[in-house]
Chain A
Amino acid sequence: MATTELKSDAIFELLKRFLGTEEGIAVKNKVNLVYQFNISPKVTPPFFSMIVCVCLDCFLFVLWSFSYGFGLQKIGIDEVVYTIDLKKGEVIKGQYEGGKPDATFSLKDEDFIKLANGKLNPQIAFMRGALKIKGSLSAAQKFTPDIFPKPAKL
């Protein structure tokens, strides 16, 4: 669906192309781990409240909306899963099929863009709670936004 398209898609697409180049192969050989990214898209308020009003559990929605504000992103809602396989040098949209990924990062679409552009430090994001990490910490620490090529601007 066009409207739920993630901004992050462009970055992953770029990474996919980038991993085909010699530089990409060098990165792949250096890291040699599998990362999974759970990207939470932006949810527009009418769209989301429509779904929730159908839900019986309106009370929870009220709680949710008070604690997070209306219509904003929340980690863990409607996540889009990307797998960056730096063992094989692949970017897959979907779960990793070769077992468990070394580390899984959950974050919002906006934050992912900032992260990939080097405008957000992953450690800061983790401290703020904007980035959740699951899996091996040493693998997570080897992750750096530098693996994402910066998009050029028109």
Chain B
Amino acid sequence: MGWVNIPSPTAFSLLLHYFSSKSQKKTMAMRELVTGAAACAVPGSSSSSSNPLGALANALIGSSSKPLEGLKEIPTSTTTATEPPLYQDATAEDRLRGLPGADSDHSFSQHPTSQGSEFLRRFRTSDQNGFANAWDEIQRSGPPPPPALLDHGLPPPQLQPTLDGPPQRVLSNLLHSFVGSSHGGIPFRPAPLPALGLSEGDKQCIRDRSSIMARHFFADKSEDFINTQVNALLSSLDIDGDVRVKGPLPGRFQELEDYWNESQAARRPGPPQVDRWVTEFSQHRIDHGDPNVWAHSFEQQHGANGWASEFEQEQLISAADQMGGANMSNLSTMEQTRMLARTLAQNNDPKFQNSKFLQFVSKMSRGELIIDDNQVKPAALSSPGDWATEYQQQYSGGRWADEYARDQLSHGPDQWANEFAAEREQSRPVDDKWVNEFSKLHVDDWADEFGRQVGEGAFGESSTDNWADTYDEYLNEQVVAKQKPDASRGVYVFTDMNPYVGHPNPLKEGQDLFRKGLLSEAVLALEAEVLKNPDNAEGWRLLGIAHAENDDDQQAIAAMMRAHEADPTNLEVLLALGVSHTNEFEQAAALKYLYGWLQHHQKYRTLATPELSDSLYYANVARLFNKAAQMAPEDADVHIVLGVLYNLSREYDKAIAFFQTALKLKPQDYSLWNKLGATQANSVQSADAILAYQQALDLKPNYVRAWANMGISYANQVFTSASLFIILFLDSLASVG
């Protein structure tokens, strides 16, 4: 992740920028971030000003509203200053010495007074830096310590109630030098400090926040370095920062221990605090438009707050399932199995519903079973604390986000099938169980066959892979089906992002494009037209024809239905609907529209009898059309309808005859040539069909449907030398001609 790679100077300057940001809102937000009263886990320290880090933030932010130079001029040397220790407890002193960094030259017992006076002098001289003003502000706004702390009988916060200066300042200076040490990447040398009388709550807050901030500052440093830095800081503040030090404290620190346990309990789920921080942080980043690499890349990958919510989700899952010790791969496996189980549960067969396979899968999805070392095991139920510990182990430190992202990637959805296949292969015992189950369900020879093949192992490997691949395909198909749910129901589906929307005259444009043979473009233009004028029958009709020529009957039907609504008597629309329904094998609908053609035709209207429209039988309709053909043998349209009708009843020879008759009357109709070709192809006369298609394509080179039909014919055709010869011969003729 990006944030590991940011050089610390960058991080530091970013922070300074942040503090000096002109936007009051952002400053406030940052202040909240650092003081973070609500995020502090210790009860009683809810007031932001009562914790020293918050005070520091206030001071910094407050002073930064004055020129930034004030901040830079803060003498860092004062960090070494100490005051005479007020808290001369022997045990505390020993503890201080034992901690890393406490053995520095400036041990507080050596030059206490000189250092102290030095400090006081510097304190007075730095008044004009504006820092003291800030300090006064803190003093004024600082509320009395919360009563809860006093109730606990803690070592009384000696200076806090009377707060007359130095300790807070010392603390802020210390923190400054801590921040400053990040600048050069030098190890932080803690200075001995006077006992500040910090309450446990304050210490808690300092510990938590300083470790968080340290991770941010030292993003490019190693984990050990961060820990050392933080520990040095904390030890100088007499705070038990190191987790390793968390032994039971001597008797009088019982309350401390309670606090410690409490805080640990609060920390253990890990994220609540941290994730709030990240959420807040990413929000600020968005506001700020900061070119901070990690935040951006993280947001791109997971969306703002993505990981936090994702993590919470997974936490919920694991909590609900009492799924202790589950690692990430198991969790993701569970997720995937759950999907599978859901799909399988949709299966309607009661036998399948009761099968052990489904039970197995659903158990897997609930996490009751896990696959481990080639064996299916019931998941061990253990306290959620375990997994949290493991989580911390796995993802401790600055690299956790990195690892999480990698983990996410490696368990990405496209790989689950492979993973699942692998696991399926591992779980051979389960396979066998499944086979047994199956053998009970189905006829014996099937089961025997299956069992034999599993025994041979031939089936096992190949089919599991196959199966997973197929399932993947199935999911893709589902997605596609979701995208286009209405097409099958006769509702027209418009194209997204149509460039012709807003065109001054899309109908004209569409007609031109259609004439030029640019079918897909014409479809877009015509869609724009019918969006503009939904009652334009001509627009819908052309759209339907364009779709039919583009070999999309579903859309053609949908468009033609709209055209039919707008103009119920249009003969071409009725014929096109009849043809499209014939292509989709919808005989009843096709008959209805073809009969409608007869009913609305000027000449043949008399033939249509009203009682027939209730129950349409193919034979009756064909008889009527034959009569019509006798009435007007010169009308190509009647012959076309008859050809379609005979296609419907699969009397292809008759249909071919009628189309040929119609072609004599209308030789320039490319769609008629295609109809003839299709009929010939369906009656398995591929060679003839190809000739007809070629005629159609000569008339309209971009006739997609004819090309598609031609492809089908070539696929179905046997290339005997004779037919190949004929085709070559005709091709040469065409090129000469």
Contacts and interface: CB of A to CB of B under 8 A. Distances in A.
Interface of A: 2-3, 5, 7, 9-10, 13-14, 17-18, 20-23, 26, 67-68, 113, 121, 123-124, 127-129, 133-138, 149-154
User: Which one of B644, B682, B713, B720 has the highest number of Cβ atoms from chain A below 10 Å of its Cβ?
Assistant: B682
A22 B470 contact: no
A23 B678 contact: no
B588 A134 contact: no
Contacts of B347: 128-129
Contacts of A150: 712, 715-716
A42 to B, nearest CB: 10
A68 B348 CA distance: 8
A113 B716 CA distance: 18
Contacts, number: 104
Nearest to A150: B712
Nearest to B643: A154
Grouping DSSP codes into helix (H, G, I), strand (E, B) and loop, the B interface class, with mixed when no group exceeds half, is helix
19 contacts: A7-B587, A18-B716, A67-B348, A113-B585, A121-B470, A124-B473, A127-B470, A129-B348, A129-B349, A134-B442, A135-B443, A135-B445, A137-B450, A137-B453, A149-B716, A152-B689, A153-B583, A153-B678, A154-B644
B677 A137 contact: no
B442 A152 contact: no
Nearest to A136: B449
Interface size classification for chain B: 35 or more
A154 B443 contact: no
B473 A17 contact: no
B683 A17 contact: yes
A127 B716 contact: no
Given A127-B471, A136-B445, A154-B579, A18 B684 contact: yes
Interface string B344-385: 000111001000000000000000000000000000000000
B720 A134 contact: no
Nearest to B659: A154
A127 B352 CA distance: 11
A96 B371 CA distance: 46
Given A134-B443, A137-B450, A152-B689, A23 B716 contact: yes
B705 interface: yes
A3 B618 CA distance: 10
B684 A17 contact: yes
B249 interface: no
A96 to B, nearest CB: 15
Q: Which 4 A-B pairs have the closest CB atoms?
A: A7-B585, A152-B678, A152-B681, A22-B718
Given A17-B684, A154-B679, A123 B466 contact: yes
A123 B464 CA distance: 12
Contacts of A5: 587
A114 to B, nearest CB: 11
B647 interface: yes
B725 interface: no
A152 B684 contact: no
Contacts of A113: 585
A17 B717 CA distance: 13
Contacts of A9: 650
A3 B614 CA distance: 13
Contacts of B650: 9-10, 13
A22 B721 CA distance: 13
A122 B650 CA distance: 27
B474 A21 contact: no
B582 interface: yes
A137 B459 CA distance: 11
A23 B618 CA distance: 33
A3 B588 contact: yes
B709 interface: yes
Contacts of A68: 348
Given A14-B682, A20-B684, A2 B617 contact: yes
A154 B675 contact: yes
Given A138-B453, A151-B682, A152-B678, A2 B466 contact: no
Given A113-B585, A127-B471, A153 B551 contact: yes
A22 B349 CA distance: 41
A9 to B, nearest CB: 8
A133 B585 CA distance: 25
Given A17-B684, A149-B712, A154-B582, 10 more contacts: A18-B684, A22-B718, A68-B348, A121-B473, A124-B471, A127-B467, A128-B347, A129-B347, A136-B446, A151-B583
B721 to A, nearest CB: 12
Nearest to A141: B463
A12 to B, nearest CB: 10
B682 A152 contact: yes
Contacts of B617: 2
A124 B709 contact: no
B328 interface: no
B28 interface: no
A124 B712 contact: no
A153 B470 contact: no
B705 A153 contact: yes
Contact of B618 (A2, A14, A123): A2
B477 to A, nearest CB: 7
B731 interface: no
Interface string B457-496: 0000000001100110110010000000000000000000
Nearest to B447: A137
Contacts of A128: 347, 474
A10 B716 CA distance: 16
A153 B446 contact: no
A9 B587 CA distance: 11
B717 A23 contact: yes
